Chain A
Amino acid sequence: MKKEKSIMEKIAEANKTVTKGVDEKEVKHWVTIYIMGKPCRVPAALTIMQAMEYAGYKFIRSCGCRAGFCGACSTVYREKGEYKLQTAMACQTRVEDGMYLVQIPFAPAEKAIYDINEEEYDISVFFKYYPEVARCVSCNTCTKSCPQDLEVMDYVQAAIKGDFAQVAEGSFECIQCGLCAMRCPADIVQYHLAQLARRMYGRYGSLEEKNVKKRVEEIKKGKYDKEFDRVMSLGGTEFKNLYTEQQRTREVY
């Protein structure tokens, strides 16, 4: 009698394309991509990153979180027959037939060195550290190059007007991949400028949280010490009851 596979074996089997790589026999659709000019036949269902690995590239640079959060895998590509250069994150973009691509492993941009405690919450901070921001010609190339689809040019313009809140809001989902800066004809370093603006806004532009301030004071005064000593000395059953009761009265949403 053939032994039936265990649940864990079935799960591992179902996941194997991700953990062990694709099995060529199971691939129905193929495309050809050009990795730095070299044609490679790869399964059509893969991301650019997975496809490059399939083709034999072992990443050291240009690969980080593999989930669209870290900005390591900036990719510039051109579609077959198109003149336009496009940008993407290799881990978040599916391959297309005829894609010509190269990865940009690093952006040689300068970050300002400043002391958050000393800076004045004023428009001048932008011109002090990133004077080139004034050179923006509103060409919108940064926005077009942003793989997060942020309105980069809009927040650059907001910085020129000294609107910290709008820069913070507009740049919040920036993954600092550097593609905007690499494409900017005015050599503005949008993503570093935005980091400065967000920290200034976070520090000076919003109200200080009152609850956390109070709680820190309480903890420093030792308000909870006695209760901790009591609870930490409880026996196993007593503690479990305490936990169960606390879970029963939980705030749901």
Chain B
Amino acid sequence: MAELKFIGGYPEYMRESIKLVERTRPERIGKLPPQMTPEEREEILNRYHPDYVPGGKRCIKIGPNRGDIAPNEVVDLLEAYPVIDPEEIDLSEVDYEPDILIIGGGLAGTSAALLANDYGIPAEKILLTNKLRHGDANSMMAQGGTQAADRPEDSPLIHYIDGLGGGHFTNKPDVLRALVEDAPLVMQWLEKLGAIFDKDPDGNFMELTGGGTSRRRMHACRDYTGMEELRVLRDEFRNRKIPVLEFYAAVELITNSENKVAGAVLWGLETGDYKIVKAKATILATGGFGRLHIRGFPTTNHYGATCDGVVLAYHVGAKLRDADTVQYHPTGAAYPQQIIGLLLTEKLRTSGAQPVNKDGEAFVFPLEPRDVEASAFIRECYTRDKGMVTPTGMRGIWLDTPLIDIINGEGRTERSFPAMVRMFKRFGVDMIKDPVLVFPTLHYQNGGVETDPEGKTNIEGLFVAGEISGGVHGKNRLMGNSTLDCMVFGRRAGMYSAEYVKLAKSNGKLSLEHVKKYVNMVKEAGIKSERKAPILLPEYRGRAVLARKIDIFY
């Protein structure tokens, strides 16, 4: 094959298609394809959404959710052997004994620590542990915004109705209500802690809509929303001198003779040693599972998003909910190769960018709920054959980003999307002048460990918050409800676990009996695989190296 000639970051043949996008641009302004009817939505989901198309899921054979279905990649981990042998672990020597152990240092875990502290737990009686650095989390990468119904035209009730409809009416109502009613509180809390949100000259929040939200209620910090929220909360956390352990991953929860969760076994990723944490309450805030690459999709998620917390909770008998659904974000980068799968915020579409096919035709309302929008992209690329094919064989949809400046005035893209502009510029593409190519990418774990409005699970002593939890979003989450979820339920888990530990009696004897039982369950179910979980990190090393890998040190 002859060498490709590149112009402005794109090979010549892709330029031809960009010309068609430019040609139809003027007539597309202000004219959007109609929204789909509920029936149309259902049809397109059934035929094109990776969650609905058969072949990606199977029945769970063991544990509290036996008989439920979940993605194969998740079931693989639930039906795996634990990574530790209880016989090798000495529980009699406790390394840390906080009142509250928080596992995970994203927005949820950090919020939990702050609120536990506010509600009377001294800093030194809290311990936050993280398998990477404090702040290495999907929260850090959240771009678009945080929903909170605070404008006079809006209300928590309208937010509630949007959320329940977006979740296909499967959300847990009381949990969703807690989310929307706490939302303005979270915004006020962040403001007081000094987070800087986009505001107009009068000091009012500048708010946008998102897919499936009927009012403008998205609060953004340019396209660095999660980063701003998390670095402010982490700074506050550090000011309060709350102890933190980095590069220690929880590899198993510890129970006690009363079957309550009573801490965790941590494992040092750098040192290979284990530590025993005995705690009166344990909060799992370990995030999601994007790095499992469900159905072979790339992901927007951070390096450590490997479903660990769900596995740990399942080992102690915690119930899962809506674990069968996965959120694919419609607009992951499809080109250039170096950034495939990375997130292009939905805010681009709320600011006027339109999805168009290789012939420059608009084919879908830009702000359908994410699952519907993603399905429409897949149909356009793989059934109608109107996707743009990249040099590596990806098919994608053009996201016509130059419209943002045309509609909102010059300079808007650069002001509102500095992270996006910067990312594309690094790889030679100018998204202010040229459209960018997108395709759905694995984004979010909709379900997880079933929670109640206080962050409690069905296992006493175990709380959950954030992406690991299941219930609040039902089977599909709306934009801007994830950072909100992390903070609302992080705060709640912190607050209610603080109340819980004040009343908690003696802990009983520490035990890993549940691990032994789990091993037996796996064996009895006749599961052939020798697979182990949690996996902690994904494997991306080159094939040549892995083919000759031997373990000497460990």
Contact = CB atoms under 8 A, between A and B. Distances in A.
B141 A199 contact: no
B158 A246 contact: yes
A11 B338 contact: no
Interface of B: 32, 35, 38, 48, 50, 53, 55-56, 132-133, 135-136, 138, 140-141, 148-153, 155-158, 160-162, 164-165, 169, 173, 177, 181, 184-185, 187-188, 191-196, 199, 202-205, 208-209, 212-216, 221-222, 224, 226-228, 231-232, 235-236, 238-239, 241, 247, 269-270, 293, 295-298, 300, 302-303, 337-343, 350-352, 367, 378, 382-383, 392-395, 407, 418-419, 422-423, 426-427, 537, 539-545
Contact of B302 (A56, A66, A198): A66
Interface string A185-220: 000000000010011111100111111111110010
Contacts of A58: 537, 539-541
Contact of B340 (A17, A114, A168): A17
A3 B168 CA distance: 34
A168 B383 CA distance: 48
A239 B161 CA distance: 8
A219 B48 contact: no
A56 B545 CA distance: 6
B209 A251 contact: yes
Interface stretch (A47-55, A131-139, A154-162): A47-55
Interface stretch (A30-38, A77-85, A96-104, A227-235): A227-235
B350 A176 contact: no
Given A54-B541, A56-B545, A68-B422, 7 more contacts: A14-B394, A53-B542, A63-B132, A202-B194, A212-B205, A215-B150, A228-B177
Contacts of A60: 132, 247, 269-270, 537
A11 B161 contact: no
A231 B132 contact: no
Given A18-B340, A115-B239, A209-B191, A253 B350 contact: yes
Interface of A: 6-8, 10-19, 21-24, 45-47, 50, 53-61, 63-70, 72, 92-94, 111, 113-116, 148-149, 168, 172-173, 175-176, 195, 198-203, 206-216, 219, 224, 227-228, 231-232, 236, 239-240, 242-244, 246-247, 249-253
B270 A8 contact: no
| 9 closest residue pairs by CB, A with B | A12-B296, A207-B203, A199-B194, A56-B545, A243-B165, A202-B194, A203-B194, A250-B214, A54-B542
A224 B155 contact: yes
Contacts of A7: 48, 53, 378, 382-383
20 contacts: A6-B53, A6-B55, A21-B541, A53-B541, A56-B541, A61-B270, A65-B138, A68-B419, A70-B140, A72-B136, A168-B196, A199-B232, A201-B196, A207-B199, A210-B204, A211-B204, A224-B157, A228-B157, A231-B160, A239-B169
